[in-house]
């Protein structure tokens, strides 16, 4: 048999930088009460959400992704010509093809990078991070730009009192590259297509073309809540176990921002010490789907609540159903 040369790369990878972008339009709970029978008190108590950001005129998935990616590249201090792959995780790009990532790479001045989109809903960033880490360690690219961006407001059913208040728009991006020490633990990921009907899109995009009406997001909130507080709790613990860490070795916890009460349950299950900094960006940003984890990471680092070099546990979960999480060293 003819021997084919295999690619080889550095032993470890880490996240070099993070950047994020939030749209300008602030939507408070009060605003939504013109569409749904609810109250600021109910939404705050049941979810933690006080407000979220939605795109305004001129803002879209492309502008948000460009802003987050530009910040991440600048903060990494690397030569963008050395970015060999660009991954965009999103469920908000209108076109089945071409993907948006090649256009973003071109506009960012990254020449000849492998570029593609992935669709893993709210687990999208952590799915992408697993890919980026593997690409770097296999020597298939020196640096990978991973972007996660969403405009969920466009598929939000304003009249659905089970979902109208949950989601916000935004983008986050990281640069992943080679490292002397390990900065990204083993990914814990999976899916359960048997529960595809738990979070759904009300129509396919072909229908949207015919009717001119966007499909909307639908969800069995109680089923998601139950899955997140049982199965996902165990998966979160496995992220720590697989990284060889105990809860007291963790500095920061960045769970998907789906509901503050889900976060509380995960905290109790993991028995994290009170010293662990916990992301609560849901209060100001809502659930940003794939963009949630990097947006929360950037917010914690920018505010000084978390700092570079600390150990963080991240996990995303959502429609599919899909989930992915890992332990990382903060950039």
Nearer CB in complex with ligand COA: 47/60: 47
Closest CA to 72 of 151, 171, 152, 187: 171
Q: Which candidate in 60, 157, 259, 287 is catalytic?
A: 287
Q: Which of residues 142-171 bind ligand COA (CB under 6 A)?
A: 161-162
117 and 129 in contact (C-beta within 8 Å)? Answer: no
Active site residue 288: no
Which one of the spans 56-64, 72-80, 145-153, 220-228 is the region binding ligand COA (CB under 6 A)?
220-228
The least CB distance from residue 149 to ligand COA, in Å, is: 16
> Of residues 239, 256, 259, 288, which has the active-site annotation?
256
List the one residue out of 281, 277, 279, 282 whose CA is nearest residue 310: 277
Token couple for 56: 């305004």
Neighbours of 207 (CB within 10 A): 14
Near ligand COA by CB under 6 A: residue from 222, 234, 268, 271? 222
122 catalytically annotated: yes
Per CB under 6 A, 218 contacts ligand COA: no
The full 3-state SS of 224-255, as one line of letters, equals HHHHHHHHHHHHHHHHHHHCCCCHHHCCEEEE
Q: Where are the beta strands (DSSP E) in the chain?
A: 12-21, 25-28, 51-54, 83-89, 114-118, 143-150, 170-179, 188-191, 199-201, 217-219, 252-255, 277-278, 311-318, 322-329
Listed ranges 35-43, 97-105, 124-132, 137-145: which one lies at the site for ligand COA (CB under 6 A)? 35-43
Q: Between 142 and 287, whose beta carbon lies closer to ligand COA?
A: 287
- Could you identify the residue written with the tokens 């789906």? 258
CB 88, CB 205: distance < 8 Å: no
> Which region, judged by CB under 6 A, interacts with ligand COA, from 40-48, 67-75, 134-142, 147-155?
40-48
6 Cβ contact partners less than 8 Å away, ≥ 6 residues apart: none
Specify which residues 118 forms β-bridges with: 89
Examine residue 42 and tell whether it contacts ligand COA (CB under 6 A): yes
- CA end-to-end span of the chain: 44
* Residues 265-304, interacting with ligand COA (CB under 6 A): 287
Least distance in angstroms from the C-beta of 226 to ligand COA: 9
For ligand COA, the binding residue among 87, 126, 147, 224 (CB under 6 A) is 224
Which residue in 25, 27, 46, 242 binds ligand COA (CB under 6 A)? 46
Among 115, 171, 232, 258, binds ligand COA (CB under 6 A): 258
Number of residues located near ligand COA, criterion CB under 6 A: 17
Using rule CB under 6 A, residue 226 touches ligand COA: no
In the complex, what is the shortest distance from the CB of residue 46 to ligand COA, in angstroms, rounded to a whole number?
5
DSSP 58: T
The answer to the question of residue 219 lying near ligand COA (CB under 6 A) is yes
- State yes or no: is 126 an active-site residue: no
Cα distance between residue 228 and residue 206, in whole Å: 32
Distance in angstroms (rounded) separating the CA atoms of residues 229 and 292: 18
Pick one of 9, 221, 231, 238: the residue that binds ligand COA (CB under 6 A). Answer: 221
Q: Which is nearer to ligand COA, 108 or 199 (CB)?
A: 199
24: DSSP letter: S
Q: Which residues are catalytic?
A: 122, 256, 287
Task: Using CB under 6 A, list all residues that contact ligand COA.
Answer: 36, 38, 42, 46-47, 122, 161-162, 219, 221-222, 224-225, 258-259, 287, 318
């Amino acid at each position: 048999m003819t021997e084919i040369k295999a690619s080889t790369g550095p032993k470890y990878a880490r996240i070099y930088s993070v950047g994020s972008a939030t749209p300008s339009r602030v939507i408070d709970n009060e605003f939504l009460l013109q569409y749904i029978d609810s109250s600021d008190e109910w939404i705050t108590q049941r979810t933690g959400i006080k407000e979220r950001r939605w795109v305004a005129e001129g803002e879209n998935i492309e502008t948000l992704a460009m802003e987050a990616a530009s910040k991440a590249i600048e903060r990494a201090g690397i030569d963008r010509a050395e970015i060999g792959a660009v991954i965009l995780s999103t469920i908000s790009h209108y076109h089945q093809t071409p993907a948006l990532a090649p256009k973003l790479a071109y506009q960012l001045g990254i020449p000849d990078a492998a570029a593609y989109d992935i669709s893993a809903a709210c687990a999208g960033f952590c799915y992408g991070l697993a890919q980026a880490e593997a690409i770097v360690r296999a020597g298939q690219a020196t640096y990978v730009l991973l972007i996660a961006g969403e405009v969920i407001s466009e598929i939000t059913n304003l009249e659905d009192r089970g979902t109208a208040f949950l989601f916000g728009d935004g983008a986050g991006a990281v640069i992943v590259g080679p490292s002397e020490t390990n900065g990204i633990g083993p990914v814990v990921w999976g899916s359960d297509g048997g529960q595809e009907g738990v979070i759904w899109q009300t129509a396919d995009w072909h229908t949207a073309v015919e009717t001119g009406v966007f499909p909307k997001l639908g969800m069995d909130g109680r089923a998601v809540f139950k899955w997140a507080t049982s199965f996902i709790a165990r998966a979160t613990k496995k992220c720590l176990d697989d990284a060889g860490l105990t809860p007291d070795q963790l500095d920061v916890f960045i769970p998907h921002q789906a509901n503050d009460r889900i976060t509380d349950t995960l905290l109790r299950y993991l028995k994290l010490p009170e010293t662990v900094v916990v992301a609560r960006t849901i209060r100001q940003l809502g659930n940003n789907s794939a963009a949630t984890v990097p947006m929360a990471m950037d917010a914690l680092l920018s505010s000084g609540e978390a700092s570079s070099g600390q150990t963080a546990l991240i996990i995303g979960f959502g429609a599919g159903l899909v989930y992915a999480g890992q332990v990382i060293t903060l950039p």
